[in-house]
Chains A and B, each alone.
Chain A
Amino acid sequence: MATIQLKNVFKKYENGFEAVKDFNLEIADKEFIIFVGPSGCGKSTTLRMIAGLEDITSGDLLIDGVRMNDVEPKDRDIAMVFQNYALYPHMTVAENMAFALKLKKTPKEEIKAKVDEAARILNLETLLDRKPAQLSGGQRQRVAMGRAIVRNPKVFLMDEPLSNLDAKLRVQMRTEISKLHQRLGNTIIYVTHDQTEAMTLGTRIVVMKDGIIQQCDTPKNLYNHPDNMFVAGFIGSPQMNFVECEVHETAGEVVLKYSGNTLKVPADRAAALKKGGYINKKVIMGIRPENIHDKEHSLKEYADVLKVNVSVYELVGSEVYLYFEVGGANMIARVNPNTSARVGSDVELYVDAEAIHLFDRDTEKVIR
């Protein structure tokens, strides 16, 4: 069991810099929660405050309902895995995992049991007698994980544990960590700035910017219902397109006008625009590249057609990205690889109006 609560947590460093501002979060038992956000947004600071490596300037940290602010890091029942790690070069895999327990004077039998258990979970059983130099990168990474697992903590705190691995190994270890979470059932807080990692691993994702939580939700909800332009742009790849539009109401229909195009707004969002008093004002329309289709190859017909001139054609795996400009804004469409569009072509694209997001131009918040 481990629930974690952060209540109005602030971090002001000695030099006066406020790295975390009014952080409020409840993490349920067994959750795999991800902190994401751009460099410097306060992910590590928050994690280090939970670990106790940094003091909490104000606010409360509770683990299982007990206030932890003044509890020694060692006694918080957590274990950490960071981006950079070194193994003990002269110790075997088993000794590497056992060392911290040995320092804590844990009884020998208990150490052995824990190491064996961790080795089983991590598939390291046959490697227990090897030295680090005889291991592959992935195996070493697992030993580093093992050192955290043997502590049998309530909570794992991981700060970009995979970011030093090459792409292939990263994907592999991602799956391993996911399995690990299923098997161990501990609460995991995981920091990354890789949104793919966030989307595939997390039960919930906390998106941060400038020390402030922007939104916290399941990967699916973040993707489908971003609260603001930052989250909208952060989740999804390639990034969501943003176009400035004017809102008009003609004959009871709400439409968006942008550089000669008109798009009918779906009923729910039309209602929100009316309610918010946006008629005849400018708003930002967001549309994901995957919601713009090549008319020629689309299985479905859509009402809204966008005529564009392709400036860049990019074949990425089994997809094609078309880059083009609409009213001064650079946009991307992710289309069927069979597209005949090439650089310089004039193409007709469908815009899936159902999939648009609307944002306030000043607050950058979603209009709901």
Chain B
Amino acid sequence: MNELLKSYEQHYQFQLRLTIDGQSVFCGFKETAASELAFDRDEEHVLLECTQKDAKRTLESIKIALMPFLVSVSENELFELALYSKADEHELGLLKNKMAENQYVLVMMSGTKELDAVKEIFSQLIEHELPMIMKQNNLLVLMDIDAKSDWIRKLEAIRSTMETELYVSLRMSVSSVFEDLNEIKDRFEEVKQVQQLIEKYDPACLMAEPSNTWMLEMIDSLSEKKSQKMMDSLVHGDLKLLEDELILTAVSFMENNLSISATARALYVHRNTLIYRLDKIYQRTGLDIRKFEDALKLRLAMTMMKK
């Protein structure tokens, strides 16, 4: 390495920052042996001098020389840097190398104080090691997935298993799928929001994903006044006066894709009973939810009511 550096006539400066064993290490460098690099933590920068022409090749050589240290960079540390957009391309590259697939989601787990145990069990339940960090009362995981596979069901199975193994109630929220690790910060914001929205509007759902929160997001962003106005224009009468039975019927009818027979089966009521209830909903709200348009309106209004 020394010889390599000495042979350059023109000089060029680089700044190099290293993270070793989870700690950021900055060190000065000028004709020092690469092996000494990591241990010299006193100076601010790594200054690497070489010709412009050879810059790229030199960097490569240094990378190779530094490999033994670089592999020990903790993936959790890299993940944390990425989370705050502080990771550079090189660090993101390292993070990427640690993942098996090249599509990712952020998974956030919450709802219990026993996050250390959750972390331990979770690491055992996944196929290979994943970057994980604790953030306040959440465990955050960068997970690689095969988007074509049934990964969300697998995650739900893991969530459920952690409940039975640890005797805790556990909520899991996931971000949407992404490919560029530069997006980690945005996805972090997204998953936080998914979790907040679900807790607010649909607390029964312990496995939250953006595909079931988009409507919540829209409604949540409306002002109080605006949503009241919108609600009034959506339904006639007061939704709060609708009996639980009718609400549950409506929910089930929508979950069963507006199918009378599927809903009757799911609710174990007779077709005629269901039709009678749908008529009752129509009388009370002016919405005939057998029609898609009206079903959508009621769905919106019911969600707004929870605001």
Contact = CB atoms under 8 A, between A and B. Distances in A.
B124 A51 contact: no
A39 B245 contact: no
Main secondary structure of the interface of B (DSSP, over half): helix
B248 A51 contact: no
Interface in B290-307: 306
A299 B136 CA distance: 73
A233 B137 CA distance: 46
A84 interface: yes
A290 B295 CA distance: 37
Interface stretch (A85-93, A113-121, A122-130, A216-224): A85-93
A82 B268 contact: no
Contact of A230 (B158, B159, B268): B268
Interface in A34-85: 37-40, 48, 51-54, 72-74, 79-85
A233 B269 contact: yes
Contact of A86 (B157, B168, B245, B248): B157
Given A39-B267, A210-B244, A74 B252 contact: no
B252 A39 contact: yes
A82 B167 contact: no
Contacts of A51: 167
Contact of A239 (B158, B252, B270): B270
B167 A15 contact: no
Contacts of B244: 210
Contacts, number: 85
A148 interface: yes
B168 A53 contact: yes
B248 A40 contact: yes
Contacts of B154: 86
A53 B169 contact: yes
Contact of A38 (B169, B266, B271): B266
A147 interface: yes
A84 to B, nearest CB: 4
B270 A90 contact: no
A90 B269 CA distance: 46
Contact of A99 (B124, B252, B306): B124
A84 B153 contact: yes
Interface string B134-163: 000000000000000000011011111101
Nearest to A14: B203
A86 B266 contact: no
Interface in B114-136: 117, 120, 124-127
A350 interface: no
Contact of A40 (B167, B252, B270): B252
B272 interface: yes
A40 B163 contact: no
Interface in B157-182: 157-161, 163-165, 167-169
Contacts of A329: 272
A100 B306 CA distance: 39
Contact of A147 (B157, B165, B248): B165
B160 to A, nearest CB: 4
A84 B157 contact: yes
B55 interface: no
Given A13-B203, A38-B268, A233-B269, A85 B160 contact: yes
Interface residues of A, number: 40
A87 to B, nearest CB: 8
Given A99-B124, A100-B165, A39 B266 contact: yes
A324 interface: no
A39 to B, nearest CB: 6
A242 interface: yes
Contacts of B268: 37-38, 230, 233-234, 239
Contacts of B252: 38-40
A147 B124 CA distance: 15
B70 interface: no
A330 interface: yes
B206 to A, nearest CB: 10
B5 interface: no
Interface in B23-62: none
Interface string B71-106: 000000000000000000000000000000000000
B65 interface: no
Given A15-B203, A239-B270, A88 B167 contact: no
Q: Which of A52, A88, A234 has the most CB of B within 10 A?
A: A88
B251 interface: yes
B269 A40 contact: no
Contact of B127 (A52, A53, A89): A89
A91 to B, nearest CB: 7
Contacts of B245: 210
B140 to A, nearest CB: 19
B34 to A, nearest CB: 36
Given A40-B248, A86-B154, A86-B158, A242 B203 contact: no
Interface in A240-263: 242
Interface of B: 117, 120, 124-127, 153-154, 156-161, 163-165, 167-169, 203-204, 244-245, 248, 251-252, 255, 266-272, 306
25 contacts: A13-B203, A37-B268, A38-B252, A39-B266, A40-B251, A53-B163, A53-B169, A73-B167, A79-B164, A80-B164, A81-B164, A82-B163, A84-B153, A84-B156, A86-B125, A86-B158, A103-B117, A147-B164, A147-B165, A148-B164, A210-B248, A230-B268, A234-B268, A329-B272, A330-B272
Given A40-B248, A233-B269, 20 more contacts: A13-B203, A15-B203, A38-B268, A53-B169, A80-B163, A82-B163, A83-B160, A84-B159, A84-B160, A85-B161, A86-B158, A89-B127, A90-B124, A103-B120, A147-B164, A147-B165, A210-B244, A230-B268, A233-B270, A234-B268
Q: Closest 6 CB pairs between A and B? A: A73-B167, A84-B157, A86-B157, A80-B164, A84-B160, A53-B169
